[in-house]
Amino acid sequence: MNLEEALAQLKEWCDESRGNSIPLLPERQAVFESRSLHGDDELAAVETKLSFSFPHSYRRFMATIGACSLFSWSPHGGGPRFYTPSEVLQVSQGASYTDEDGNTHRICFVGEHRLMGDFMGFLMSRPGEQNFDVFCHEYPFEEYVAVSDEINSWRTFENWVIKCVETRGEESI
């Protein structure tokens, strides 16, 4: 499966569900809701304010699926929830810390996984495309990067989306 196929499947589920439960797996219903689509101008404004460039895959996701709730167990949550660009800016401004070694880590939060209360986002100070993670709720903000490094959970946003769709949300954390 590639990104375009994954986005097409998510769009199909969002169009079918429209915030109501649909069958997804045997013995399991899921709720999908695309609340608003967002284009290059809105994302560019966020990038400018955060001094960060979103990967192409995130831009395609926001243009196709947008701010949304995916793989939820109810209309109120349970799965990944992606923010609008203004929400991304609001929660990401000032989301930085300096570790014991003097390295500054800046995180751009693009959503939250409501199953466990985990934030999702990009480590802006990490070079390359493998800078996306779902940060574990069990650790304080100042330990997000160290824990993600330790458990080697960094991935590209594209691969995360594809894996979520391929597993019908079973592997979304």
pTM for the whole thing? Answer: 0.94
Nearest C-alpha neighbor of 132 from the set 142, 143, 144, 120 = 120
pLDDT at 78: 81
Beta carbons of 59 and 66 less than 8 angstroms apart: no
The 3-state secondary structure of the chain reads: CCHHHHHHHHHHHHHHHCCCEEEEECCEEEEEEEEECCCHHHHHHHHHHHCCCCCHHHHHHHHHCCEEEEEECECCECCEEECCHHHHHHHHCCCEEECCCCCEEEEEEEEEECCCCEEEEEECCCCCCCCEEEECCCCCHHHHHHHHHHCCCCECHHHHHHHHHHCCCCCCC
Q: Which domains does the chain have, with CATH numbers?
A: 3-21+29-166 (3.40.1580)
Per-residue confidence in pLDDT tens, the chain, 173 aa: 999 999 999 999 999 999 899 998 788 889 999 999 999 999 999 999 999 999 999 999 999 999 999 999 766 668 999 999 999 999 999 999 999 899 999 999 999 998 778 999 999 999 899 999 999 889 999 999 999 999 999 999 999 999 999 999 988 88
8 neighbors 27 (Cβ within 8 angstroms): no
User: Taking a C-beta distance cutoff of 8 angstroms, is the pair 118, 112 a contact?
Assistant: yes
Q: Which amino acid is at 116?
A: M
Given a contact cutoff of 8 angstroms between Cβ atoms, the answer to whether 124 and 131 are in contact is yes
